[in-house]
Amino acid sequence: MASIRDRIALITGASSGIGRATASAFAAEGANLLLCARRADRLEELADDLRTAHEVNVHAFSLDVQDREAVDATLAGLPEEWKAIDVLVNNAGLSRGLAKVYEDDYKNWDEMIDTNIRGLLYVTRAVVPGMIVRGRGHVINLGSTAGHITYPNGAVYCATKAAEKAISEGLKLDLMGTPVRVTSVDPGMVETAFSEVRFRGDMERAAKVYQNITPLQPEDVADAIVWAASRPAHVNIHNIVMTTIDQGNSYVFNRRG
């Protein structure tokens, strides 16, 4: 296991769920953290907790990855001591709605495409050139089993995650000849606010997603991310597909009871 102590890790969507768990997991290994999300209050709370618990440096800032100009300006304007990013975790992402393509709301499509595809591209474009110049770096993108097999009523979300998969594969090819690594971590069902966001706060409907099943926890995914990041420099983990034991693919589940 290669040490990631004192490395700088940028995690998008770090205020909750997988992003928050990933920040904690990196901090536990002694990494210094750049944390961004749209909810600044939650970020500051997390930053304080991590500084206290792990004695690491944390720089938290509000950022909407959908806004290309904000991404460029914010990352270019980082304090000098924070610019040499070693690990980028493109975690920011969401799903909206669960409906047939011909009945869905255009706004759902826009938000998913702008966050899951364009946002990932904007942050990657801003960070990777510096990694190439410095001769080190690792891009870890959050994909999904939804990018491997499409499920009913989720065509557009699945398409955004299939795009993430293709972008990760293409980026790795583009970086051949450099020491910069690329990994896609593709979890199945994870118990986070994902379903609450998808159903716009409908807690009852969101709870049914996890009914009679044991889902992955954010910490499970964070563990895989840190594992990939801590391989020796010559080892690149291209892809990790992970699910709960109760999940066969994007829409086959073992629901007990």
Q: Look at residues 91, 187, 118 and name the one whose alpha carbon lies nearest to residue 146.
A: 187
**How many alpha carbons lie under 13 Å from residue 192 in its C-beta half-sphere?**
26
157 is catalytic: yes
Please name the residue ranges forming H helices in the chain: 17-28, 40-54, 68-76, 106-112, 120-134, 155-174, 194-198, 203-209, 218-229
Residue in 151, 157, 210, 251 annotated catalytic: 157
Contact indicator for 121, 90 with CB cutoff of 8 Å: no
Asked if 63 contacts 38 with a C-beta cutoff of 8 angstroms, the reply is yes
Amino acid at 226: V
Tokens of 211: 């009914």
Distance from C-alpha of 112 to C-alpha of 161, rounded to nearest angstrom: 10
DSSP assignment of 151-194:
-TT-HHHHHHHHHHHHHHHHHHHHTTTSS-EEEEEEE--B-SSH
89 bridge partner residues = 11, 140
User: DSSP 3-state assignment of 57?
Assistant: coil
Contact at 8 Å (CB) between 147 and 165?
yes
Catalytic positions are 157
